[in-house]
Structure 1
Amino acid sequence: MNKGEQVITGFWDLLNKRMWLDNYKMKLSLKDYKPSEVHCIEYIGKNLDSNVTKLADSFRMTTGAITKLTKKLIEKGLIESYKKPNNKKEIYFRLTEQGMVVYKVHEELHKEFQERDKDTLEQVVDEDFDIMLSFVESYSRHLDAEIMKLDVNIKSECCDKF
């Protein structure tokens, strides 16, 4: 295995371990909600005037998939839709009180995860972070370019599964 493959494999292994640890705790605390629901709540909680288009772009999902997701969240009483007085066409979403509770639990868990990893991350010097961030940004741009090359129908099928 060359160094590039070792780095990608190492990042993949770190990501899987982190996701496993985080998901374990999330599932205990937010067991009544699917990860997609919680992340949609998080996005709406952090972004004023969230709509289907913004959510679809953020999650790389189709607008149809986001529409289904937001309908479920409305039915569960976690979000509500609204229109602006000057734009009767566009539908926006905001959190309800119940949605805000889920949002706050999720945010607290993220703070807990950051605290868990704080000691290790504080040992990394800025120059090493700069190198890692440069690689991540470069590789991300590469993957974005590869995604853009894909046929729209293929992207749609792929992204609906996530």
Structure 2
Amino acid sequence: MNKEEQAMMGLWDIFKKKMWLDSYKMKDSLMGYNPSEIHCIAYIGDDEASNVTKLAESFNMTRGAISKLTKKLVKKGLIESYQKPDNKKEVYFRLTEQGKMICNIHKEMHREFENRDQPFFEQITEEQIDVILGFAEKYNMHLDAEIKKLGVDMKSDNL
């Protein structure tokens, strides 16, 4: 295995372990809610002017998929839709009291994850972080270019 393959495998292992650890901790506190629902609730909690368009762009999903997700959240009593007095065309979303509780649990869990990982990051130099950030930026640009070559919209092509 060459160094590029080792690097990619190492990154994939980090991602899988972090996702597993985070999910393991969240499953008891947020049982009954899937990750899309939780992240949609968190986004709406952070953005007072959340609408289908903003959510679709943020989650790289189609407007249709976001409409389904928000309808499900409305039905579960976690969010409610509303219109601004000066804009009767656009529908916006806000959290209900139950949605605010879920949002707060989610935020608290993220604080726990940051606290869990802080001792590791205290060992890392700023130069090392800069190398990682540079790699991530360049690799993302490369992948964006490859996606663009395919002429495919990531939002509409669920793999």
TM-score range (shorter-chain normalised) is over 0.9
Q: Unpaired runs of 5+ in structure 2?
A: none
Number of matched residues? 159
The match for 1:143 is: 143
Superposed CA RMSD: 1.5
Secondary structure of the residue that 2:91 maps to in structure 1?
Answer: strand
Q: Which amino acid aligns with 2:17?
A: K
Percent identical: 60
1:119 aligned onto 2:138: no
Tell me the CA shift for residue 150 of structure 1: 3.3
- The more displaced of 1-10 and 56-65 is 1-10
The match for 2:5 is: 5
The match for 2:41 is: 41
Q: Is the 8 A contact 1:79 1:94 kept in 2?
A: yes
The match for 2:74 is: 74
Q: Is the 8 A contact 1:147 1:155 kept in 2?
A: no
Take 1:157 and 1:98, find their aligned partners in 2: how far apart are those partners? 33
Q: Which amino acid aligns with 2:26?
A: M
Q: Which amino acid aligns with 1:118?
A: Q
Tell me the CA shift for residue 32 of structure 1: 1.5
Take 2:44 and 2:154, find their aligned partners in 1: how far apart are those partners? 27
Take 1:155 and 1:36, find their aligned partners in 2: how far apart are those partners? 14
Secondary structure of the residue that 2:22 maps to in structure 1?
Answer: helix
Tell me the CA shift for residue 51 of structure 1: 0.8
Q: Unpaired runs of 5+ in structure 1?
A: none
Tell me the CA shift for residue 154 of structure 1: 7.0
| TM-score w.r.t. length of structure 2 | 0.94
Tell me the CA shift for residue 155 of structure 1: 4.9
| TM-score w.r.t. length of structure 1 | 0.92
Take 1:153 and 1:128, find their aligned partners in 2: how far apart are those partners? 34
CA distance 1:130–1:154, change in 2 (3 Å): closer
The match for 2:51 is: 51
Tell me the CA shift for residue 153 of structure 1: 6.5
Q: Is the 8 A contact 2:62 2:155 kept in 1?
A: no
